Amino acid sequence: MLVPPEATIRQALAAINAARSQLALVVDAERRLLGTLSDGDIRRALLGDATLDDAVAPWMNSRPKVAHDGNRPEDILAMMRVHGMHRLPILDASSRVVGLSSVDDFLQSPERQSPVVIMAGGLGSRLNELTRDRPKPMLPVGGRPILETIIDRFVAQGFRDIWLAVNYRAEVIVNHFGDGVAFGARIRYLREEKRLGTAGALSLLPRDLAHPVVVSNADLLTSLDCGALVDAHCAARAEATMAVREQEHAIPFGVVTESEGRVLRIEEKPSQQILVNAGVYVLEPSAIRLVPDDTYYDMPQLLDELIRRERTVFCHRIDGYWLDIGRRADYERAQNEFGTQ
């Protein structure tokens, strides 16, 4: 699929047919991308005054859309979908071609049987005027809604059965995503007639679930491998698994260690590594059946109930990028960090 700029249209057609790629990449001697030539470009050239023996350079697209080898798979998929492309050249930092990504690469990823529930019904009240006309998950980051990035991440990892729990400004979400076909997913909706907390909407799911369910907050931007999370849950034979991450917690005072009133040690403003809830869970259907109907119910209540019943609640440590957009400062940070990745 790689051809030099002096190659003929006939040679480019042969390269396209041999690679079954529908796209020839025009490169220099160092494999730096100069342009692309699709079968559509070739048809337009031949309908003009070109012949099969003309060089490809005058007919190539010299400003093609590209991705880079550091881009996340879900971002590459999103770029192809936004621009209506089926294939996208992948370049290294020196603009050398290192691959050609195809929509089929994502559609052929192993499909996960676990459905996903994304809790998108919150008010986002801490973001004030930003959420007056739209729910927080529909705020743009990197040129598209937060929720769209989350859904693309799940689709790229093989999760295509997605439920969106909606309440505040639900029509904004429903009108954008519809049935999910345009996003490579099957999207259905859990409509909260009143606010049901971070777990209450799970009572609206069908009762005949056959696989563990992934539950995610709708204001998280993360590189979490949710497939690995499900695998860890199943390996632990847990009733519920929560993703957790290490967070450094600075204590703004001197910490005193004592024994029977005798001071043993004073540590000035120490930092501690603590585990915090990352907002993504895997739940067995039997755990979901414990969620009461039509009741405001938060996820910690469900986990506490499982622990009280001596069911296995497992935690799975995660690394990588993670940002919870709860405050205005978090949203501004997302624009600076995630939007440019």
* Same-domain pairing of 66 and 128: no
* Same-domain pairing of 131 and 100: no
**Minimal CA–CA distance to 72: which of 140, 142, 2, 19?**
142
Helix ranges, 162-298 (H):
170-177, 226-236, 285-288
* Same-domain pairing of 54 and 170: no
CA dist., res. 223 & res. 322, Å (int): 7
* Same-domain pairing of 102 and 139: no
* Same-domain pairing of 48 and 159: no
* Same-domain pairing of 133 and 237: yes
**For position 80, what pLDDT does the model report?**
81
**For position 247, what pLDDT does the model report?**
87
Containing domain of residue 20, as a range?
Answer: 2-107
pLDDT (tens digit, 9 = 90+) per residue, 116-158? Answer: 999 998 877 777 777 878 899 999 887 889 999 999 989 989 9
**For position 315, what pLDDT does the model report?**
96
pLDDT (tens digit, 9 = 90+) per residue, 148-204? Answer: 999 998 998 999 999 999 999 999 999 999 999 988 899 999 999 999 999 999 999
Choose one of 107, 142, 161: the last residue of a domain.
107
Q: What pTM was computed for the model?
A: 0.67
Q: Give the Cβ contact number of residue 236 at 10 Å.
A: 15
- What's the number of domains the chain is made of? 2
pLDDT (tens digit, 9 = 90+) per residue, 39-49? Answer: 888 988 998 88
CATH of the domain at 184: 3.90.550.10
* Same-domain pairing of 141 and 97: no
* Same-domain pairing of 146 and 231: yes
CATH of the domain at 92: 3.10.580.10
Choose one of 59, 82, 107: the last residue of a domain.
107
Q: Yes or no: say if 292 and 261 are a contact pair by the CB < 8 Å rule.
A: no
Query: What does the CA dihedral 16, 17, 18, 20 come to, rounded to 10 degrees?
Result: 80
What is the chain's pLDDT, residue by residue, as a tens digit (341 residues)? 789 999 999 999 888 877 667 789 999 999 999 999 988 889 889 988 899 999 999 999 999 999 998 887 767 877 787 777 888 999 999 999 998 888 777 665 578 999 999 999 887 777 777 787 889 999 988 788 999 999 998 998 999 999 999 999 999 999 999 999 988 899 999 999 999 999 999 999 999 999 999 999 999 998 899 999 999 999 999 999 999 999 888 888 999 999 999 999 999 988 888 999 999 999 999 999 999 999 999 999 999 999 999 999 999 998 888 989 888 888 888 887 764 44
**For position 258, what pLDDT does the model report?**
92
Q: Give the Cβ contact number of residue 130 at 10 Å.
A: 13
* Same-domain pairing of 131 and 171: yes
CA dist., res. 36 & res. 310, Å (int): 60
* Same-domain pairing of 127 and 70: no
* Same-domain pairing of 32 and 158: no
Two structure tokens written together for 338: 């995630």
CA dist., res. 81 & res. 282, Å (int): 28
**For position 213, what pLDDT does the model report?**
98
Choose one of 75, 107, 139: the last residue of a domain.
107
* Same-domain pairing of 233 and 276: yes
